[in-house]
Amino acid sequence: MFELMLPALVACLVLLGIHVYLGLHVLSRGVIFVDLALAQVAALGTTVALLGEAEPGSAHAYFMSLAFTVGGAVLFTLARTLSDRVPVEAIIGIVYAVASAAAVILADQLPHGADEIKEILVGSLLSVTWPDITRTAAIYAAIGLFHFVFRERFLLVSTDPDEAKKRGFSIPFWDMLFYLTFGVVITSAVQIGGVLIVFSFLVIPTVIVALFFRGLGARLVAGWLVGMLGTALGLLASVQWDMPTGAAVVVAFGALLAVASVVAQFYKPAGVGQLPPGNAHP
């Protein structure tokens, strides 16, 4: 059983490595559901590929999913330029709803449509292979390096866009780069874990650590630890009670958030709140 679960565990840890970091950006930007929307757009691209008789997990399915996600990234970049008239969250919600409905319609045309919808939501962690993990880790390492090199710009645009403008940074340009790299991460993650895993990994550890820590470094480390704990609990529950793996991991993350919310009622460190602007993270 351990040999069966090991690839799933390693895959989850690979996803967590960059999702927790990107989650800090998402929380600072106040676009909590952008990952859910982009994940659903990626899933719609996969569904379109499958309808075109592509094999699940094939290069065709991946690049079709990526193409749809890039389109979503462009749309969300443009949405920020209209934020003085329409809330960005409204656009995100609309994209999610339309992409979900379209995926259901298209999946209904597939021979095993119900199974496809289920896999889109909770993924197929137990069928992930070591080549899949290696390829995803390489993609994430490249994106992580890119964000590290330009961390000041990405962080400032996310936490203090007014200051970013004063320093001469182009908000639309850096927004586009953020959403494009974010889209690549989401596309790869959906292929492995499904929409719900993607959302949980990106948002829940970030929300939990935001209750107790302020600095970027502290939130990153704590977020990774929380993510590893939630993953381990979910996988153990899946084995112990024979539950769907992806769903069990998501529920475990939700349980950790519930516990953290109770603890936070009695313990609130001074100064906890939004991340400080730019790269000034104590």
Residue range 148-171, pLDDT digits in tens: 999 889 988 888 888 888 898 888
- Any idea what the CATH number is for the domain that residue 198 is in? 1.10.3470.10
Task: Provide the domain count of the chain.
Answer: 1
Tell whether 280 is covered by a domain.
no
Tell whether 158 is covered by a domain.
yes
Helical packing angle, 216-241 and 171-210, nearest 10° = 60
Cα(129)–Cα(137) distance, integer angstroms: 12
| Better pLDDT: 185 or 86 | 185
Residue 231's pLDDT is 92
Residue 280 has pLDDT above 70, yes or no: no
Tell whether 12 is covered by a domain.
yes
Residue 15's pLDDT is 92
**What residues make up the domain containing 117?**
2-266
Residue range 1-19, pLDDT digits in tens: 667 778 888 999 999 999 9
Calculated CA dihedral for residues 51, 56, 58, 62, nearest 10 degrees: 70
Q: Any idea which of 166-170, 188-192, 211-215, 277-281 has the lowest mean pLDDT?
A: 277-281
| Better pLDDT: 192 or 115 | 192
Helical packing angle, 171-210 and 113-122, nearest 10° = 80
Tell whether 197 is covered by a domain.
yes
Closest CA to 22 of 126, 124, 114, 143: 143
| Cβ atoms of residues 202 and 225 within 8 Å | no
Tokens of 264: 């936070």
pLDDT band at 274 (very low <50, low <70, confident <90, very high): low
Tell whether 272 is covered by a domain.
no
Angstrom distances, CA of residue 160 to CA of 33, 144, 164, 216: 20, 21, 6, 14
Tell whether 226 is covered by a domain.
yes
pLDDT band at 253 (very low <50, low <70, confident <90, very high): very high
Tell whether 251 is covered by a domain.
yes
pLDDT band at 39 (very low <50, low <70, confident <90, very high): confident
Residue 255's pLDDT is 95
Tell whether 139 is covered by a domain.
yes
Q: Which residues, 6+ apart, have CB-to-CB distance to 32 below 8 Å?
A: 26, 89, 203
Give the Cα-Cα-Cα angle 18, 19, 20 (nearest 5 degrees). Answer: 95
